[in-house]
Amino acid sequence: MRACAQLIRSTDIADGQVKNIFNRQNEKLVFPPTTTQTAWEGACMEGIARAIQKEWLKESTDGDYFGELIGELINSNPHKLKGHLWVPFNYLSRKCHWRSWIKNQYPKDFDSISNWFKDLPSLFNQVQNLPEAKAEGLVFYHPDGKRMVKLRRDMFDWYKGDRHKNNI
């Protein structure tokens, strides 16, 4: 079981409308819906619609936005969601960050981070009142706000289970 969500980059939000959806590097043609829509495309549309209903995109200006599609069809649904939800990274950075990390309460060496990660719970699940789950990953943001990197649970040697296909 792979516990990571599907990275979605919604681009070209213009005049309050989501114009394009990209899955990593490939454009996914989900707008407008067609009669041959795949289950993934339907999940993506549902996820974006639910994010809009939660007002997670309300403050979005024109531009690119990054996030994760999670839910029933995505990677064994580790969050135990009903349906699908697109979670923008800017929401996660505001609502689901480790204050203990920011306050430097943990040593920043490899062994300490690895040990901390083993039992790290999902803050997203806690904030959304979802069943308890382990954190799939952490996103670190550069102070310039433009660059980020994700450290995933499956990148550590101790991880048991399927690994992300792009693991090095």
Q: How far apart are CA 90 and CA 66, in angstroms?
A: 8
Q: How far apart are CA 85 and CA 46, in angstroms?
A: 7
Encode the chain (168 residues) as per-residue pLDDT tens digits: 222 345 555 555 777 777 778 776 677 777 777 788 888 888 988 999 999 999 998 888 888 888 889 999 988 888 999 999 999 888 888 888 888 777 877 788 889 889 988 989 999 999 999 999 999 888 888 888 778 888 888 899 999 877 766 544
Strands 148-152 and 6-13: unpaired
Q: How far apart are CA 49 and CA 159, in angstroms?
A: 34
What is the pTM assigned to this prediction?
A: 0.79
Q: How far apart are CA 36 and CA 8, in angstroms?
A: 21
